[in-house]
Chain A
């Protein structure tokens, strides 16, 4: 080893340029992770294919729903991107456990950057999943019945919804601090919820006695989702950033 004596290095760039750069560096870290951790790719690519095929080929006959594939795909899209968003929870808990958050917090970077990078990582995972699902869906007979812009809007709403949910999960990950607990809890909560919901089976099929719901939220699903997105972002982005600025490994 050779000793290299040098003066201290200076930081460069305006505050805004530094903020953008921090967010990009943190995002790049998560993109490299997607590339190098095979489990993430399996989850991202194989699981959506599996779900689409299972439901469209195996259960479709038992569902008694005309054009089941088109009914099913909306539910599978939502389920998959929501599960994709749980990565942020487990990843933040793991980073905290490994002490990497401590390293980041001793650097003069923006306190939001690590979270921006993490949630962007989820967004990329979810975008890949969406493409895979659309391809698989198309093969089994799913077709876009609305206009092109309506289709894009739908994809946008789904991704935005999952993106805002990533922030909720990121805050939970930093609070619970155990990647295993986060993984198990999200599975235990989200999995039954998606099956109880009308994602896979119309409500009157599961229980004919159940009156067709007339709540405002079901009459106006898109507005409801957008309200949900805004509420999640407005509440959980500041909470998560504040949490990040004070959290440290134990």
Chain B
């Protein structure tokens, strides 16, 4: 059963440099009990899509339903069944972890006793005891994120929305959060999450929607998306960058596409991995090209993204993406 359904969502913002089409006819459908990742670079429209579905903004055009509720006509009913956590840990710094969670419970109208009981449960479940009785101010980003995430789970929501849940976290906190999210999902919550990290989408979701320019440009499981750009890739790293041209020609001979050259690394997608690697190595040896490293790899979502959009998924200047590299 489809529990999240969005059709033809359009949203245009006016900025100083002209109109920005944050959503340009976005369609989305998520089956109950599954995890869908919206994957895309900064400004692709992921956050806008989540904001429409969580009743925060109204689209210019299109419809959105969650669990049969028309989000645009009946936002209050929609709010009763969702939990949402935005890009910034939205916790009140002056309240303790417990007070934050209790406040959210009271605002879901659980009643005072249930709200307190639930807050205490979440404090234990998320290992927040340390932050439970002290104001959030002064706690790390990872801790705030966990409180924020716990806030989204106060009512055990049918549908959970997480907008870039791990952005800005150090690798260790990110892994810890992944573990928490994986647990939740095993409990049957439907989750829509957005991420700039291909690895994150790969790790957490059943299904990925690649978003660029306010539209879904590809959809499927991680394996399906990878299959779209063929089988294995042969990657060689040269000792001398001067050999790149010659190596590129050899890889082109045995690959089924145009080789990509990046400094001393040359790679190409191939049909039959091991055999192509043998040929490539033997030809490179004959040409007297010295190798630093050589091998085969399965395509990553990075490759998928590059192929689909013509640009990289991750913002190269962002420090987060370099952190991500070290996390691998």
Set of chain A residues within 8 Å of B135, measured between Cβ atoms = 36
Set of chain B residues within 8 Å of A145, measured between Cβ atoms = none
B87, A99: Cβ atoms closer than 8 Å? yes
A11 nearest CB across to chain B (Å): 4
One of A21-29, A80-88, A197-205 contacting the partner: A21-29
Closest A residue, CB atoms, query B148:
A103
B75 nearest CB across to chain A (Å): 9
A211 beta carbon closer than 8 Å to chain B: no
Set of chain B residues within 8 Å of A22, measured between Cβ atoms = 107
A188 beta carbon closer than 8 Å to chain B: no
Set of chain B residues within 8 Å of A7, measured between Cβ atoms = 156
Q: How many A-B contacts at CB < 8 Å in the complex?
A: 114
Please count how many residues in chain B sit with their CB below 8 Å of the partner chain's CB atoms: 54
Set of chain A residues within 8 Å of B91, measured between Cβ atoms = 100
Q: Which of B86, B88, B104, B180 contacts A1 (CB 8 A)?
A: B180
Given the interface pairs A36-B135, A105-B55, A246-B58, the reply to whether A11 lies near B109 with Cβ below 8 Å is yes
Closest A residue, CB atoms, query B118:
A9
Set of chain B residues within 8 Å of A113, measured between Cβ atoms = 107
A108, B108: Cβ atoms closer than 8 Å? yes
B84, A106: Cβ atoms closer than 8 Å? yes
Q: Which of B56, B126, B155 contacts A248 (CB 8 A)?
A: B56
A108, B109: Cβ atoms closer than 8 Å? yes
B56, A102: Cβ atoms closer than 8 Å? yes
Q: What are the 6 A-B residue pairs with the smallest beta carbon separation, nearest first?
A: A11-B109, A99-B90, A103-B90, A99-B88, A108-B79, A106-B84
B111, A103: Cβ atoms closer than 8 Å? no
Set of chain A residues within 8 Å of B188, measured between Cβ atoms = 5
Q: Which of B55, B89, B106, B187 contacts A3 (CB 8 A)?
A: B187
B228 beta carbon closer than 8 Å to chain A: no
Give bound CA distance, A99 to B92, whole Å: 10
B295 nearest CB across to chain A (Å): 37
A43 beta carbon closer than 8 Å to chain B: no
B179 beta carbon closer than 8 Å to chain A: yes
Set of chain A residues within 8 Å of B85, measured between Cβ atoms = 103
Closest A residue, CB atoms, query B76:
A108
B103 beta carbon closer than 8 Å to chain A: yes
Interface size class of A (residues with CB under 8 A): 35 or more
A104 beta carbon closer than 8 Å to chain B: yes
Q: Per-position contact with B for A31-59: 1 when CB-CB < 8 Å, else 0?
A: 01100110000000000000000000000
A103, B109: Cβ atoms closer than 8 Å? no
Within 8 A of B (CB), among A77-135: 98-100, 102-109, 113
B121, A4: Cβ atoms closer than 8 Å? yes
B104, A4: Cβ atoms closer than 8 Å? no
B99 beta carbon closer than 8 Å to chain A: yes
Give bound CA distance, A29 to B88, whole Å: 20
29 CB-based A-B contacts, threshold 8 Å: A1-B125, A1-B127, A3-B183, A3-B186, A8-B81, A9-B155, A9-B156, A12-B114, A25-B103, A32-B99, A33-B92, A33-B94, A36-B135, A99-B88, A99-B89, A102-B51, A102-B86, A103-B84, A103-B86, A105-B55, A106-B79, A106-B82, A106-B83, A107-B104, A107-B107, A108-B108, A246-B57, A248-B51, A248-B57
A2, B125: Cβ atoms closer than 8 Å? yes
Set of chain B residues within 8 Å of A104, measured between Cβ atoms = 107
Given the interface pairs A103-B86, A108-B76, the reply to whether A1 lies near B58 with Cβ below 8 Å is no
Closest A residue, CB atoms, query B158:
A8
A8, B155: Cβ atoms closer than 8 Å? yes
Set of chain A residues within 8 Å of B108, measured between Cβ atoms = 9, 11, 107-109
B158 nearest CB across to chain A (Å): 6
A220 beta carbon closer than 8 Å to chain B: no
Set of chain A residues within 8 Å of B125, measured between Cβ atoms = 1-4
Given the interface pairs A1-B179, A9-B156, A32-B95, the reply to whether A249 lies near B110 with Cβ below 8 Å is no
A13 beta carbon closer than 8 Å to chain B: yes
Interface centre among A4, A7, A105, A107 (most CB of B within 10 A): A107
